[in-house]
Structure 1
Amino acid sequence: MKNFVDIVEEIKSIVSTEFNGKKIYDKDVADILGISQMNFATMKKRNKVPFGELLDFCALKSISINWLLYGQSPESLVAATNRFFMVKYFGQISASAGGGANADEEVSQMLEIPQEFVAMLGGERELKNIEAINVTGDSMEPTFSYNDIVFINRAKTDLARGGIFTIRTEAGLFIKRVQKRLDGRVDIISDNPVYAPQTLNPNEIEVIGRVISRFGSVD
């Protein structure tokens, strides 16, 4: 996948005709994507690709996200459409890696993914169980950061072996590292050490599914 700088340069090229030959700066790209200049600078420094904003940009410009991220030509996409797959993406839902997030809005769209990414999601047979949502907050950094898109397998809800799950509590929707204790209670752990662990009873947690990827592997 292209890095942040390369993607920015592609966007500059795409919108160049709109600027009538004027030089396009990073701040212009930030405005186009609807990202504050401060957040844009942070993403550039960390090489954090803003997937959500890129999806909106590609939809607006009627271009393929696979072309923008992977450099695959439109001709190759047409010639090999059977190599691309779709998963359900709830773009209006954010699971919080900090405080609880609101999940009342459940309007979905279909997110196109390339064949090489299907294996990371468990294979083609698992796609029916996969849903994608956004991340907000910083308590799971560096594993996840604000505005990452994460993929959840809703068929995997067993906490016995632990792992990273999307869960719902009375405080909202969360992405957390979860470990089951010998006494039956559940530890809710943030990867960012600034945030203290929390222990809940099983009946206080609704397990939505296991987080399995974010356009990359999850530990």
Structure 2
Amino acid sequence: MSTIHERLREERIRLGMNQPDFAEVGGAKKHSQINYEKGKTSPDGDYFAAISEIGADVLYILTGTKGSEPEYSGRESLGVENNLPYLTYLPEYDISASAGPGAAVASEVIVRDIGFQEGFLHDLGASPKHCSIIRASGDSMEPTIPDGSLLVVDHSQAYINGGGIYVLGVADDLLVKRARKRIDNTIDLISDNQIYPPETIAPDRMEDLRVVGRVVYFCRTP
């Protein structure tokens, strides 16, 4: 499987841009772009938000799952009344973030679009145009997030700032966990289900960790 820095380079080339120009779009310097593409350092959330504005597939860069050439089964409105103005339709990907043991299942298919009132997403602190929907799989985040819940993930918040619930890639697994950053930059991954012990990601393991985005909303499904 390709790495984030390889997919970042692939997206830059796909968009027909050189490193200095692409770096400028992301608010970075050329040497930073070179380091991103070599895997020496990692971009922050503001960088990903900026490059998404020019058509970079941030979901693909972070997870390896392409958001292009979607297949839709329809549009729905979730958590809002029908026919309300200013609905933003978020793609639901056929991806499950593991809330328990086992690897996540992923495909490139968008199964549907789900409409949210734009103001509702803003009130959650989310950037609507950088959000997508996936499912939680497993019981490690119960009772907060039951198995099969829908997760709205803001990919512009691809960094751990304080605490929160995040979708994270750890090695080959895609997880949904509470994440807490210590003063020494150690990251604690915490399950709400107390039968699962916390996992600690030390600074020397940071290359194994990628932050896909912060979970800004979740809901149980029938």
TM over 0.5: yes
Q: CA RMSD in A?
A: 2.7
Distance 1:63 1:203 in 2: 37
Q: Give 1:182-193 correspondences, 5 Å limit.
A: 182-193=183-194
The residue type paired with residue 121 of structure 2 is V
Q: Tell me the number of residue pairs that the alignment of Structure 1 and Structure 2 aligns.
A: 145
Offset, 1:196: 0.4
- Which one-letter code corresponds to 2:213 in the other structure? G
Runs of 4+, deviation exceeding 6 Å: none
Q: What is aligned with 2:98?
A: 96
Q: Do structure 1's residue 136 and structure 2's residue 137 form an aligned pair? A: yes
State the 1:84 CA deviation.
2.0
Question: What secondary structure sits across from 2:142 in the alignment?
Answer: coil
Larger strand proportion of the pair: 2
- Corresponding residue number in structure 1 for 2:214: 210
Please list every run of 5 or more consecutive structure 1 residues that lacks an aligned counterpart in the other structure.
1-58
**5+ residue gaps in structure 2?**
1-71
* CA 1:163–1:63: 2 relative to 1, 3 Å: closer
What's the counterpart of residue 121 of structure 2?
118
In the TM superposition, residue 153 of structure 1 has moved relative to its aligned partner by: 0.7
Deviations 1:153-177 (A, max 9, x none): 1011221312111001124100001
Alignment of 1:37-186 (within 5 A): 65=77, 72=81, 77=83, 80=84, 82-90=85-93, 92-108=94-110, 109-115=112-118, 117-122=120-125, 126-186=127-187
* Deviation, structure 1 residue 182: 2.9
Paired residues of 1:152 and 1:212 also in contact (CA < 8 A): yes
How far residue 112 of structure 1 moved from its aligned partner, in angstroms, is 1.5
Instruction: Note the alpha carbon deviations across 1:164-206, whole angstroms, 9 max, x for none.
Output: 1100112410000111223322111101111001112322211
Structure with bigger helix share is: 1
Letter in 1 for 2:199: Q
Change in Cα spacing, 1:121 to 1:100, as seen in structure 2 (3 Å) is farther
Distance 1:121 1:130, change over 3 A: farther
Equivalence for 2:33: none
CA contact (8 A) 1:120 1:213 kept: no
